[in-house]
Amino acid sequence: MRNTIRTWLYSSVGLGALALTITTSPMVALADDPQNLGKMVISANRTETPVDQVGSSVSIITAEDIEKKQAITALDVIKDAPGLNVYSNGGYGKSTGLFMRGMGYKNILVLIDGVEVADPSGSQTTYDLTHLQANNIERIEILRGNQSTLYGSDAMGGVISITTKSGKGSGKLYSGTAGMEYGTYNTRKGYVNAQGEFNDIYYGASVSALNTDGFDISNTTPGKENDGYKNQSMDLKVGSDVIKDVGVLDRLNIEGLVRYMRGDTDYDGSGTQDGLKEIRNTQKSGKFSVRADMFQGLLSNTLSASQAISRRDYYEDHVRSSTGFYDGEKTKYEYLGTLKPIEDHTIVFGADHEREHMKTASISPQEVTNDGIFGNYQITLLEKALTMTVGARQDNHETFGEKTTYRTTIGYNIQSTGTHFHTSYGTGFRAPSLFELYSPIYGVKTLKPEESRGYDFGIEQSLFDGRLTLDTTFFNSRLSDEIAYDSTRKKYYNIASSRTFGLENTATAQISDEWEVSGGYTYQQARDNTTGKVLATRPHHTGSLRVSYSPDDVSGLNLWTKARFATWSYDSYANKTFTGGYTVWDFGASYPITEWAKVYGRVENLTDKLFHTKGEYAETGRAGYVGMTLNF
């Protein structure tokens, strides 16, 4: 049956696109047609909502922002976002982790074009964003807080929704971008993106390659043994509006996509000891969906099937026979409906079936299924100044039975003063991963599911005709039966209760036509409520600052500098090793030499700061890169 599903998914081709817009404040937008987005939000309520009516805390990063950042991977794109803390084993392609408001990767749902791409064979069901190349990303939404009601158990801490580029609504037969880059550690990157549409058929395609010799991540004698990385990625989307305006049917759209990635990573077994180890990561995913819009926008129905397949092979001393493997597979079927019975009232409802499967060299095949139904009601009042939502979800987990989660939000906008209030409250749950339950060494079959509840409230203020925007948000969440790892006993266990609270602050200022400044600062406290101990890898203070200068007398030139910082935290495993704070400065510039060609360059870690974020693994020192992009 799995082979049949896999064959069907990977032979399907189609399109699903979202689109554009960002401020550094926690607001966002996503819509079906990139050319008609406006300032709309989709991820917060899974239906279009004006950005100034959203009650959830969301950030948006667009393709334009990614180009300005000169980002290589998706992880590079999001690591400066407020409320997020990234740690890694050093360098491109190395294992990374992410916390959002104190919730780890295992609690954050990652979607790429609507596909849940997490690997069920991992110690937790997660997706490592270091393997996703940034050149073909159109948009990233970062949705914070409990989102289990609309997205299921994996979204207990938040959602990162990534949309790749497509030609839908472009009106062009073809367009695209090609790029190349070279830099320190013999790092080379090249890519080609192409999009277009013809009549009612649209497509998007991308190929990219990244190769680097890397550096010694073990933090031993510099240059003793470099740890390199190679990545090859391909994406394809095609779709069509096959029927328009026939009877009660406004539009019937068929869309699909396929993705492939292979990444070969050299790594060391610890942060203090070299080793000739390698991981080969292979990822494949696909999605096919049919959407029917009916009754002049009254009702929308979408049926979709998606699958993500991951495999990791481990090698020792460059011996070309695998010493271990991890196979993971996630399949999902979903119905999503949107009903707008009268103006200012929207009901989103749906059902899904999800199956996770894993097999490793030491764990016999294991799988689990979950069925869910959900609904969300949204109402707008007071001449569209006040928007409220309330939603609930019922899950039936094969192992842990029925769980109910709910969420409510309020957004209130005062246009005359440029003020927006937003608040949300929600609950969530996460079942233990298959590895946490069935690993013969580390697993514990009696683990309990994690359950959470949390809220946030904030205010966004626009001043000086929109040239200055400020936002501050307070968040507070409580996690019951959090699953943690005991490095002494080498077993997973449940923490009775933990709590995280703090403040997220963002600001963006257009000081003049030439100068722009933006930044963010997050303060958080994350503790075990039973012992009072600070939880691992959650620094109290994190932040970033970016200054951009585009002189009027040199058209197109952009100069920028950026800093990011974090204070101390504990190591993510032993909870004993002290990780010091750091501040890292970057500098960059770009200049269009023609209407269709641009050159750029940057220096990362300008002061050659020696620091690490996990297990004493070294982070990159001072490094320089130059590149060119060509538009066609």
Q: Which pLDDT tens digit goes with each residue over 226-264?
A: 889 999 999 999 999 999 999 999 999 999 999 999 999
Q: β-pairing, 515-528 with 491-510?
A: antiparallel
Q: Which pLDDT tens digit goes with each residue over 534-552?
A: 888 889 999 999 999 999 9
Cβ proximity of 22 and 60 under 8 Å: yes
Task: List CB contacts of 172: < 8 A, sequence separation 6 or more.
Answer: 196, 197
Give the confidence band of 571 by pLDDT, cuts at 50, 70, 90.
low
Angle at 203 between CA 202 and CA 205, to 5 degrees: 170
CA distances from 597 to 101, 152, 465 (A): 40, 44, 34
The torsion angles phi and psi of 359, rounded to 5 degrees, stand at -155, 135
Q: What is the mean pLDDT of residues 308-326?
A: 82
- State which amino acid sits at residue 512: S
Answer positive or negative: Cα dihedral of 453, 112, 369, 393.
positive
Q: Structure tokens of 430? A: 């996460």
Q: Structure tokens of 93? A: 């392609």
Weakest-pLDDT range from 34-43, 271-280, 491-500, 586-595 = 34-43
- Looking at residue 268, its pLDDT comes to 81
Going along 84-174, which residue ranges are E strands? 84-88, 96-100, 108-112, 115-116, 137-144, 158-164
| Residue 355 CA to its chain's centroid (Å) | 21
Helix or strand holding residue 8 (H, E) = helix 2-10
Of 19, 20, 47, 25, nearest to 418 by C-alpha is 25
Of 578, 433, 604, 558, nearest to 64 by C-alpha is 558
- Looking at residue 222, its pLDDT comes to 53
Q: Structure tokens of 532? A: 């009072």
Q: Structure tokens of 389? A: 């939502």
Taking the C-alpha atoms of residue 14 and residue 12, their distance in angstroms, rounded to an integer, is 7
Q: Which pLDDT tens digit goes with each residue over 451-499?
A: 999 999 999 999 999 999 999 999 999 999 999 888 788 899 999 999 9
User: By three-state DSSP, how is residue 438 classified?
Assistant: helix
Query: Which residue is listed with tokens 């460059």?
Result: 318
Q: Is 369 exposed, middle or buried (0-12, 13-18, 19+ CB in 10 A)?
A: middle
Task: List CB contacts of 602: < 8 A, sequence separation 6 or more.
Answer: 70, 586, 587, 588, 589, 624, 625
- Looking at residue 255, its pLDDT comes to 97
User: By three-state DSSP, how is residue 216 classified?
Assistant: coil
Residue % of the chain over a pLDDT of 70: 90
- Looking at residue 22, its pLDDT comes to 28
Give the confidence band of 569 by pLDDT, cuts at 50, 70, 90.
confident
Give the confidence band of 42 by pLDDT, cuts at 50, 70, 90.
confident
- Looking at residue 216, its pLDDT comes to 87
Angle at 44 between CA 41 and CA 47, to 5 degrees: 60
- Looking at residue 261, its pLDDT comes to 97
The tally of CA atoms less than 13 A away on the side-chain side of residue 6 is 9
Taking the C-alpha atoms of residue 589 and residue 70, their distance in angstroms, rounded to an integer, is 9
Q: Is the pLDDT of residue 29 over 60?
A: no
Q: Structure tokens of 230? A: 């190679």
DSSP 598-622: EEEEEEESTT-----SSTTPPPP-S
Mean pLDDT across the chain:
88
- Looking at residue 533, its pLDDT comes to 84
Domain ranges of the chain: 2-631
Taking the C-alpha atoms of residue 167 and residue 172, their distance in angstroms, rounded to an integer, is 8
Q: Which pLDDT tens digit goes with each residue over 112-133?
A: 999 999 999 999 999 999 999 9
Taking the C-alpha atoms of residue 104 and residue 569, their distance in angstroms, rounded to an integer, is 15
Of 248, 260, 265, 237, nearest to 34 by C-alpha is 237
Taking the C-alpha atoms of residue 68 and residue 548, their distance in angstroms, rounded to an integer, is 10
Q: Is 346 exposed, middle or buried (0-12, 13-18, 19+ CB in 10 A)?
A: buried
CATH superfamily of 2-631: TonB-dependent receptor, beta-barrel domain (2.40.170.20)
- Looking at residue 260, its pLDDT comes to 98
- Looking at residue 33, its pLDDT comes to 47
More confident: 456 or 318: 456
User: By three-state DSSP, how is residue 416 classified?
Assistant: coil
Helix or strand holding residue 6 (H, E) = helix 2-10
Taking the C-alpha atoms of residue 204 and residue 235, their distance in angstroms, rounded to an integer, is 8
Backbone φ/ψ region at 70: left (φ over 0), alpha (ψ -120 to 50), beta: left
What single-letter DSSP state applies at residue 16?
-
